[in-house]
Amino acid sequence: MGALYHRVAALDGWRRWGLAFVLGALAALALPPVYFLPLLVPAFCGLFWLTEGSPGFRSAAGVGWWFGFGHFLVGLYWVAIAFFTDIRGYDWLGPAAVLGLAAALAVFPAAATALVRLTPRGGPRRLLILAVCWSFFEWVRSWAFTGFPWNLIGSVWAFSDDMIQFAAIAGTYGLGLVTVAAVMAPALLAGPEGPTLRRGGIATGLAIGALVLIWSGGALRLAGAESDPVPGVRLRLVQPDIPQELKWVKELRGEHVLKQIAMSREPADLAPTHIIWGETMVPFALSRTPEVAGVIGRATPQGGVTIVGAPRTTPYGERPYRVWNSLYVLDDEGRTVATYDKSHLVPVGEYVPLRGILPIEKMTAGVNDFSAGSGPVTLRLPGLPPVSPLICYEVIFPGAVVNPADRPDWLLNLTNDSWYGHSSGPYQHFVAARLRAVEEGLPLVRVSNGGISGIVDGYGRVLASLGLGRAGVLDGILPAPPATPGPYARWGNLVWMTFAFLASGIIVIPSGNRRRIRS
């Protein structure tokens, strides 16, 4: 271990950056849907050693950037598929978009490693501060430049219902903090002063103990957890699997609606009381096509509602003309009971930032940019408990999926992941939705055009699902929420930030041998 440490720490030039890139790519293979978790150990141990061996904070920032570049390039490769899917010929932009996105997101790991290098030497101290900084900059990534907290490192545990229960306490950021610290612990088996088997062994043992404690606590929590159904509610999720390149073809739009109406009417052993379609699965502005709403109303269960995704526009003659990516709630007469407008829009996908400078149009159908809604709301709909609607990637933002002043009883996510084909993207999106359910202690219903659609209870357990690339309906219950929300649902990011603050208290304990930090 000592020899390996010195070889890694002594690397310079392209060998140093190349190893950091490879380590970041390896870490991405622990993400959904691969879950090759053991790779996190060499990946983050190597990152720590490279940071320790950096002669200054600029060099350490370079290590973090190349690690992040490899990590996000592999983890987000599927973004390019959207550019090849679009019918207007954006394929030339796909590879550049992934490279640019990975390069931009790599700034956050670079900031983490640079801050670590600015602290005094001392293996355990620097290891702990790297874990804290990694989690801190994951949080910064959730709001900086509109925010993109995709593939948070805590999501690597989504294969285990027991492990992700910790998110109910400290959120996915807190789970990630513990994970990064734990997988880096073996790095302390070696250091610049030579073999440190005792210190490294203790750290590794504590890391294993922490993970076992999290797992056992989660198993204990789930041992008595029931998913009782909400009385009188029977949901039908409609997943038509309409190819994205055909979804907005003018001559086919009516057929798409009729297909989903027919699916909504399919017989069932227990008739559904409420029907849900995915994001923009009505390819008409329902505010301007009441006849389409009327047809959908006739397929709606009596006394229930059909919830559909569709564009919403300003009325005829009103200026300025605006368009929203919206959710409509229609009763059995086709009347609009409620609407919700997506508030967190996708740059380039739904609007073009710096439109006066960038020579491109948004990728989604239509000429006008979408307008943003007002933020999380709680809707009260006939026959249903209060619900927080979320459209597309609004569900990926921890601590920002409910209105805290009017807490709902469940989450509803309408999305359309058909842009990304049979790639990792839809699986990662579904995992993010499950983690929001655990954090908030609220059941979640997710409806997607081509999958993955599913019903998730307030503990993040998948009760029923329709897989990727399948057309069909999913009938199921609406689970009731757990009786008591967890700490994260009550105090949000303050919980894991408190953990980080306490860890920082250990980090800043003065060292008797401070060294001058070179920049």
Name beta bridge partners: 305. Answer: 274
191 contacts 203 by C-beta, under 8 angstroms: no
What does the CA dihedral 122, 127, 132, 134 come to, rounded to 10 degrees? 130
* Residue 433 to residue 158: CA distance in whole angstroms: 11
Name beta bridge partners: 446. Answer: 413, 454
Separation of CA 472 from chain center: 25
Closest CA to 283 of 265, 264, 262, 260: 260
Q: What is the DSSP letter of 379?
A: B
* Residue 319 to residue 449: CA distance in whole angstroms: 32
Q: From start to end of 302-344, where are the E strands?
A: 305-313, 323-330, 336-341
* Residue 362 to residue 113: CA distance in whole angstroms: 35
* Residue 237 to residue 476: CA distance in whole angstroms: 8
Instruction: Report CA-CA distances (Å) from 354 to 147, 325, 348.
Output: 17, 20, 10
Helix (H, G, I), strand (E, B) or coil at 72: helix
Name beta bridge partners: 415. Answer: 448
Contacts of 261 (CB under 8 A, 6+ apart): 295, 296, 299
Q: Active-site residue numbers?
A: 279, 342, 392
* Residue 297 to residue 373: CA distance in whole angstroms: 25
* Residue 13 to residue 34: CA distance in whole angstroms: 31
Phi-psi region of 303 (alpha: psi -120 to 50; beta: other; left: phi over 0): left
Q: What is the DSSP letter of 359?
A: -
H helices of 185-289, in order, are 197-223, 244-247, 253-264
Tokens 């609009």 appear where? 336
293 contacts 326 by C-beta, under 8 angstroms: no
Name beta bridge partners: 412. Answer: 389, 445
* Residue 458 to residue 517: CA distance in whole angstroms: 48
What does the CA dihedral 443, 446, 452, 453 come to, rounded to 10 degrees? 90
What does the CA dihedral 260, 261, 266, 271 come to, rounded to 10 degrees? 110
